[in-house]
Amino acid sequence: MSNVFHRAPKHAYPVAVRGDGAYLIDAAGKRYLDASGGAAVSCLGHSDRAVTDAIRAQLERLAYVHSSFFTTEPMEALACALARSAPKPLDKVYFTSGGSEATEAALKMARQFFIDKGEPQRTRIIARRQSYHGNTLGALATGGNAFRRKPYEPLLIEATHVSPCYPYREQPAGESDEAYAGRLADELDRAMSAEVMAFVAETVVGATLGSAPAVPGYFRKIKEVCERHGALLILDEVMCGMGRCGTLWAFEQEGVVPDMVTIAKGLGAGYQPIGAVVLGAHIYHTIVGGSGAFQHGTTYHGHAAACAGALAVHQRLTRDELVHGVRAKGQLLEKALRAAFADHLNVGDIRGRGLFWTIELVEDRKTRRAFDPALRLHARVKQEALDAGLLCYPMGGTLDGKRGDHVLLAPPFIVDEAQIAELVEKLEKAVRLALAGVSPR
């Protein structure tokens, strides 16, 4: 019996022992094609020598110092690399140990910005339903994942949640993208007040909604609303950023620059735990010119080995042009998914961008009726995929936290054409077998 308190204590987990490119290998020698990067983390696969060598070299020199005493060469170099690759005014970087911590830091940074700006009444957050920003209490309160929030709601700060940009289910037939985006911007405008400090959104919604991009023009309208009301725009690119959607920053494709952006998963590619908030100069200078310091900190902030690994990841993504390759490979994945599932009676939507794709499963394509949640279709797909040697990221509660099933895919950027074919073939088998075990209503 394991002494680990696993997230699903009754589940028997295989023991992973080795990584080989896009594959993971368990103790029995079984190989699994990692088509989800864990949770869209392992963008370079599981055996990148450039990254492991960088971490090893840093550990041999210096493993850890506390950031209240020292800075380190890899932390400074990584911050410079991120600032150089980000559009202005984004030019300062605050490091964390992961995505949830990045959200917490961004929220506290927004609050301190307005205190130092002389607007202490700004305390409120607006985010979107069916969003996810992390599992720590501030991040969980911000997110609109109803299932994950429910047990802990008495502990959460109050936040306002507006509609997601979810065209498959919430854009009526005949409504243009411009009109739909305008309607959502108007909803945000009505929710705004002088007490709002920030609107928080995933640039491409990840786990909760399933790699859902916004319609063209949505974020430009949202940015205009934020600016009109003096609120900050915080974009969460923990899952969709760092090349996952085909550009280093997912917001590059939206025609906006946020006041802050949070990053994590693809920043370290799974080789070390790391996250960051990249913030605009106006926020930094207001805090420095006001209270003079950010009243926040964590033990492993800017960990030297984590920063060294993330710097090597960043160099692989940019110098080796892996991000550019994401677009072409993403087109191959989209084409293969559409060939396999476009006419499938139980696939209602195929959506995504770059190497970030989702199929949404429905009981009836015409009415878009979801399967009964009690069937746990997403869990069935996950198990069938595991049995077939495929790791994917199925989720339930797509519609409202209870109803709806989707399967998210986020393969590593090193995936090749043959592996894309293997991915889709095994996914088709997993979906077919999962559906065979589900009785119709």
**DSSP E strand boundaries for 218-292:** 232-236, 260-263, 275-280
Q: Give the span between the Cα atoms of 423 and 403, in whole angstroms.
A: 26
Q: Are residues 275 and 392 in the same domain?
A: no
358 C-beta neighbours (distance < 10 Å), count:
27
Q: Are residues 228 and 114 in the same domain?
A: yes
In the structure encoding, which two tokens stand for residue 417, read together? 């054409």
Task: Find the distance separating the first CA and the last CA of the chain, reported in whole Å.
Answer: 39
Q: Which of 288, 303, 318 is the last residue of a domain?
A: 318
| The residue type at 322 | L
Q: Give the span between the Cα atoms of 86 and 90, in whole angstroms.
A: 6
Q: Give the span between the Cα atoms of 322 and 316, in whole angstroms.
A: 7
- Whether residue 242 is contained in a domain is answered as yes
Q: List phi, psi (to 5°) of 291.
A: -70, -25
Q: Are residues 207 and 107 in the same domain?
A: yes
Q: Are residues 260 and 352 in the same domain?
A: no
Q: Are residues 300 and 231 in the same domain?
A: yes
The bridge status of strand 356-361 relative to strand 405-409 is antiparallel
Task: Quickly tell me which residue has 């909760």 as its tokens.
Answer: 208
Q: Are residues 63 and 92 in the same domain?
A: yes
230 C-beta neighbours (distance < 10 Å), count:
14
424 C-beta neighbours (distance < 10 Å), count:
22
- Whether residue 10 is contained in a domain is answered as no
Q: Are residues 182 and 283 in the same domain?
A: yes
CATH classification of the domain holding 218 = 3.40.640.10
Q: List phi, psi (to 5°) of 419.
A: -70, -35
Q: Are residues 213 and 327 in the same domain?
A: no
Residues 6+ away with beta carbon under 8 Å from 43: 37, 242, 243, 244, 265, 266, 269, 313, 317, 412, 413
Looking at the structure of the chain, the number of domains it has is 2
In the structure encoding, which two tokens stand for residue 369, read together? 């009726």
User: Which neighbouring-strand residues pair with 11?
Assistant: none
Residues 6+ away with beta carbon under 8 Å from 189: 225, 228, 229
Tell me what pLDDT residue 11 has. 85
Tell me what pLDDT residue 441 has. 46
Q: Give the span between the Cα atoms of 186 and 219, in whole angstroms.
A: 12
Tell me what pLDDT residue 130 has. 97
Q: Are residues 42 and 90 in the same domain?
A: no
Tell me what pLDDT residue 421 has. 98
Tell me what pLDDT residue 440 has. 57
Q: Which of 318, 352, 374 is the last residue of a domain?
A: 318
- Whether residue 77 is contained in a domain is answered as yes
Q: Which long-range contacts (CB under 8 A, 24 or more apart) does 432-441 make?
A: 433/384, 434/377, 434/380, 434/381, 434/383, 434/384, 435/346, 435/377, 437/380, 438/371, 438/375, 438/377, 438/380, 440/363, 441/363, 441/372
CB 434 within 8 A of CB 384: yes
Q: Are residues 338 and 293 in the same domain?
A: no
Alpha-carbon dihedral 199, 202, 207, 213, rounded to 10 degrees? 130
Q: Are residues 289 and 340 in the same domain?
A: no
Q: Are residues 195 and 255 in the same domain?
A: yes
Tell me what pLDDT residue 12 has. 87
- Whether residue 8 is contained in a domain is answered as no
**DSSP E strand boundaries for 286-404:** 347-353, 356-361, 390-391, 393-396
- Whether residue 279 is contained in a domain is answered as yes
Task: Quickly tell me which residue has 């080796």 as its tokens.
Answer: 320
Q: Which of 297, 318, 339 is the last residue of a domain?
A: 318
Report residues of the chain scoring pLDDT below 70: 439-441
- Whether residue 286 is contained in a domain is answered as yes
Taking the whole predicted model, whether its pTM rises above 0.85 is answered as yes
Q: Give the span between the Cα atoms of 236 and 197, in whole angstroms.
A: 16
- Whether residue 76 is contained in a domain is answered as yes
- Whether residue 441 is contained in a domain is answered as no
Alpha-carbon dihedral 58, 62, 66, 69, rounded to 10 degrees? -120
CATH classification of the domain holding 421 = 3.90.1150.10
Question: By residue range, what is the domain housing residue 299?
Answer: 51-318
